[in-house]
């Protein structure tokens, strides 16, 4: 755990690391595409890069902090990463080539590695704002995530299903998690919507600094959006001051690669992911929800043949 933390600052700058002896042949380069450093993708990506560096012969690994889902998928299509994190709905829109979501054309080279843990869409308002339910956002200020990020696509879907849009807000600040929290601490915005694993560091930091309300997304709103959104519960005491369970929406996260990555590398990346779950859990508790039995559930894109080989080996695919 200490080693993981020590490497974070260097990783944010895209400094490559090698934790395995260089093989005689050309080195295997694995760039792990993540998200903002205060989210869940980043610490999990750091852990994955260390696992791959130690266990794939000759591998040189790098972690890249990005704007997350949409950017990661476009980078993978361009071959500028070997594996990356993305939200299931973003992946679906990428395969379709949804221009409004940030995909000018269908991304035909991206391939699935694994369905991992769900992202909980967490709307948190300052207590001072008086926002206690979704409708209270009208006339208030909100950061729905970085522009055209997976989080921001979630925000659009939630507001639309609730009969609202950004036009109903007094101000919209398109910022990543940590920056959104800083604005809330300084009373510059009323609320933030963050799509991440439960217990995300940015919201823990916010709740420890100012009194908050965790705002529910009712089941009927989630049902209106439909798949791949699910109605879930944020357990009481997930964040300081949150004394009751709160209903919200969740969307599954997917690890994605591309067709230019060799079958053997994709196989190793998939296999090592599941063989090193304790390391991932130590990096972030969201990894507790990674289940190999659910690795291909709701996969909205073709599997990489290397990942498929592993799932056949374990009997997940007959």
Domains of the chain in sequence order: 2-117+253-313 (3.40.190.10), 119-251 (3.40.190.10)
Q: What is the pTM of this model?
A: 0.79
**pLDDT tens digits, the chain, 318 residues: what are they?**
444 444 444 444 444 434 433 333 457 899 999 998 888 999 999 999 999 999 999 999 999 999 999 999 999 999 999 999 999 999 999 999 999 999 999 999 999 999 999 989 999 999 999 999 999 999 999 999 988 788 999 999 999 999 999 999 999 999 999 999 999 999 999 999 999 988 899 999 999 999 999 999 999 999 999 878 889 999 999 999 999 999 999 999 999 999 999 999 999 999 999 999 999 999 999 999 999 999 998 899 999 999 999 999 999 999
Backbone angles phi and psi of 36, in degrees to 5: -65, 150
Euclidean distance between the first and final Cα of the chain, in Å?
A: 37
Q: Which residue is listed with tokens 């925000």?
A: 155
Give pLDDT, residue 26.
52
Output the CA angle 95-145-279, nearest 5 degrees.
75
Task: Count the Cβ atoms, other than its own, within 10 Å of residue 256.
Answer: 28
- List CB contacts of 181: < 8 A, sequence separation 6 or more: 38, 192, 202, 203, 205, 206
- Ranges of beta strands (E only) in 97-238 are 110-126, 141-143, 171-172, 191-196, 212-215, 230-234
Give pLDDT, residue 18.
40
DSSP state letters, 143-180: E--STTSHHHHHHHHHHHHTT--GGGSSEE----HHHH
- List CB contacts of 64: < 8 A, sequence separation 6 or more: 14, 31, 32, 33, 34, 75, 81
How do strand 171-172 and strand 141-143 relate by DSSP bridges? parallel
Q: Rounded to an integer, what distance in angstroms lies between the CA atom of residue 220 and that of residue 225?
A: 9
Backbone angles phi and psi of 9, in degrees to 5: -60, -45
Backbone angles phi and psi of 219, in degrees to 5: -55, -40
Q: Rounded to an integer, what distance in angstroms lies between the CA atom of residue 292 and that of residue 296?
A: 8
């Amino acid at each position: 755990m200490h080693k993981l933390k020590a490497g974070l600052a260097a990783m944010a700058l895209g400094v490559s690391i090698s934790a395995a002896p260089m093989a005689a042949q050309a080195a295997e380069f694995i760039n792990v595409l993540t998200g903002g450093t205060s989210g869940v993708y980043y610490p999990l990506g750091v852990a994955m890069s260390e696992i791959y560096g130690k266990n794939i012969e000759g591998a040189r690994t790098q972690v890249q902090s990005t704007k997350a889902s949409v950017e990661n998928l476009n980078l993978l299509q361009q071959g500028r990463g070997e594996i990356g994190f993305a939200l299931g709905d973003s992946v679906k829109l990428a395969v379709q080539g949804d221009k409004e979501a940030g995909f000018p054309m269908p991304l035909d080279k991206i391939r699935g590695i694994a369905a991992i843990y769900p992202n909980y869409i967490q709307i948190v308002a300052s207590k001072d704002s008086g926002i206690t339910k979704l409708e209270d956002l009208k006339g208030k200020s909100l950061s729905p995530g970085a522009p055209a990020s997976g989080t921001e696509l979630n925000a659009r879907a939630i507001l639309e299903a609730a009969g609202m849009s950004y036009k109903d807000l007094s101000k919209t600040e398109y910022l990543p998690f940590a920056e959104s929290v800083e604005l809330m601490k300084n009373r510059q915005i009323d609320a933030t919507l963050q799509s991440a694993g439960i217990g995300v560091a940015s919201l823990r930091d916010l709740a420890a600094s100012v009194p908050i309300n965790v705002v529910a997304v009712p089941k009927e709103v989630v049902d209106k959006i439909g798949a791949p959104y699910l109605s879930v519960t944020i357990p009481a005491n997930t964040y300081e001051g949150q004394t009751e369970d709160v209903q919200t929406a969740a969307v599954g996260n997917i690890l994605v690669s591309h067709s230019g990555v060799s079958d053997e590398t994709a196989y190793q990346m998939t296999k090592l992911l599941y063989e090193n779950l304790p390391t991932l859990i130590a990096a972030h508790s969201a990894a507790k929800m990674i289940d190999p039995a659910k690795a291909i559930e709701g996969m909205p894109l073709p599997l990489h043949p290397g990942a498929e080989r592993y799932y056949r080996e374990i009997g997940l695919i007959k």
